[in-house]
A = this chain, B = another copy of it.
């Protein structure tokens, strides 16, 4: 049985198709700028053991039109990866916000859709796009089981002391204002892979997802017990364009003294801050090039970026009262030796000691970068959220998952 994985946004659809017996997809792709005149479809597939890419520029007025093209590409003569779309037994949908009620991977029923819709106020930029994707997928793959995999679900194990804010109870009870945490599919995947690699199911892990968005999780025995993003993905680490933690009074000050509107503050903190605000760049490759040229702003930004991560490592080691391994993942975590170096420097009090040579080697797959003297292991685990979604679908359907 094939599993089709969809990540549907407000104007884009990302997809991958997995067959039973492989962890690399049969094909993958992206439909972007849906509804705009210059919509683009990028479709990657394997043929005779070669990676091929097809670019299609055409009118894609809405999600349904986009998915129709994708559905057709799967079986198109000459590039088909399956014989007919009926082979797709399940469609796994990435859903950013599952709130408190959607605590695990679940078959999508009308009731589940209602719950996803009820969370629109908390995830206005994401959940509406997911619902579109689900409804279109029900039409294009009518024979398949539709399954939702939530970015928040892994963090529903947080204890109350970690997920509550110190504001009056009513804000939690009536408005659902609490820490939800995000990147859960990634934290779950890499912590699971790390536990297998370490052959240690009770491990105290800190997973460090450093992509455009950045977050950390304290994972104790496979359960998330704390995480750095909060009500929204704004809080915590310094990110590409997001500030992470900031004194709430900064917002009050700017609103009161500089007449910033809520919208301006939202844009400032989400799009113009983080590494972008500090250096004028949000791509870490650009910033590390500047760093290597001795650019002072890039140096400060890298130091701040790493320092924030260090402090969360300490905080989570305290929260778990122990630390078996830290796990770097996502674009920066997997590839940026400088960021890892700065994070691990002068951390031997917590048992962290990097092997600088291993750190600077490029590599694929899971790697252990710790020096022999390191009490905590330092791992790089490439994340794979789509594969995790496919696995969770199989698991839900009772198929063997090869985990």
Instruction: Identify the A interface with B (CB < 8 A).
Output: 121, 160-162, 164-169, 171, 175, 177, 179, 229-232, 234-235, 238, 242-258, 262, 265-266, 268-269, 272-275, 277-278, 297, 300-301, 303-305, 307-308, 310-323, 346-350
List residues of chain B with CB within 8 A of the CB of A317: 314, 318, 349-350
In-complex Cβ contact of A318 among B167, B321, B347 (8 A): B347
List residues of chain B with CB within 8 A of the CB of A304: 161, 164, 166
- Nearest B residue to A168 via CB reads B277
List residues of chain B with CB within 8 A of the CB of A234: 247-249
Q: Are B248 and A300 in contact (CB under 8 A)?
A: no
Tell me, rounded to whole Å, the shortest Cβ–Cβ distance linking A247 to chain B: 3
For the complex, give the distance between the alpha carbons of A7 and B104 in Å: 55
What are 14 A-B pairs with beta-carbon distances under 8 A?
Answer: A164-B278, A166-B242, A166-B244, A166-B301, A167-B243, A167-B268, A167-B277, A169-B297, A231-B253, A243-B248, A256-B262, A311-B315, A312-B315, A317-B349
| Given contact pairs A164-B300, A277-B169, A314 touches B307 in the complex (Cβ within 8 A) | no
Q: Are A321 and B300 in contact (CB under 8 A)?
A: no
For the complex, give the distance between the alpha carbons of A160 and B310 in Å: 15
Tell me, rounded to whole Å, the shortest Cβ–Cβ distance linking A139 to chain B: 32
Tell which of A175, A249, A262 has the most Cβ of chain B within 10 Å. A249
Tell me, rounded to whole Å, the shortest Cβ–Cβ distance linking A167 to chain B: 5
Tell me, rounded to whole Å, the shortest Cβ–Cβ distance linking A132 to chain B: 22
Q: Are A318 and B323 in contact (CB under 8 A)?
A: no
Tell me, rounded to whole Å, the shortest Cβ–Cβ distance linking A151 to chain B: 16
In-complex Cβ contact of A251 among B121, B162, B251, B349 (8 A): B251
Q: Are B166 and A258 in contact (CB under 8 A)?
A: no
Instruction: Say whether chain A's binding surface is mostly helix, strand, loop, or mixed.
Output: helix
List residues of chain B with CB within 8 A of the CB of A258: 175
For the complex, give the distance between the alpha carbons of A248 and B245 in Å: 8
Q: Are A231 and B243 in contact (CB under 8 A)?
A: no
For the complex, give the distance between the alpha carbons of A198 and B334 in Å: 43
**9 shortest A-B CB distances, which residue pairs?**
A314-B318, A230-B247, A311-B315, A314-B314, A235-B247, A232-B249, A168-B277, A161-B303, A166-B238
Tell me, rounded to whole Å, the shortest Cβ–Cβ distance linking A342 to chain B: 10
Q: Are B315 and A168 in contact (CB under 8 A)?
A: no
List residues of chain B with CB within 8 A of the CB of A244: 166
List residues of chain B with CB within 8 A of the CB of A256: 262, 266
For the complex, give the distance between the alpha carbons of A231 and B251 in Å: 11
For the complex, give the distance between the alpha carbons of A229 and B248 in Å: 11
List residues of chain B with CB within 8 A of the CB of A305: 166
For the complex, give the distance between the alpha carbons of A262 and B249 in Å: 10
| Given contact pairs A300-B164, A311-B318, A349-B323, A230 touches B249 in the complex (Cβ within 8 A) | yes
| Given contact pairs A169-B278, A273-B167, A347-B318, A255 touches B248 in the complex (Cβ within 8 A) | no
In-complex Cβ contact of A252 among B251, B310, B323 (8 A): B251
Tell which of A161, A238, A247, A255 has the most Cβ of chain B within 10 Å. A247
Q: Are A248 and B269 in contact (CB under 8 A)?
A: yes
For the complex, give the distance between the alpha carbons of A255 and B274 in Å: 23
- Nearest B residue to A162 via CB reads B307
Q: Are A318 and B251 in contact (CB under 8 A)?
A: no
List residues of chain B with CB within 8 A of the CB of A230: 246-247, 249-250
For the complex, give the distance between the alpha carbons of A253 and B165 in Å: 14
Q: Are B257 and A232 in contact (CB under 8 A)?
A: no
Tell me, rounded to whole Å, the shortest Cβ–Cβ distance linking A308 to chain B: 8
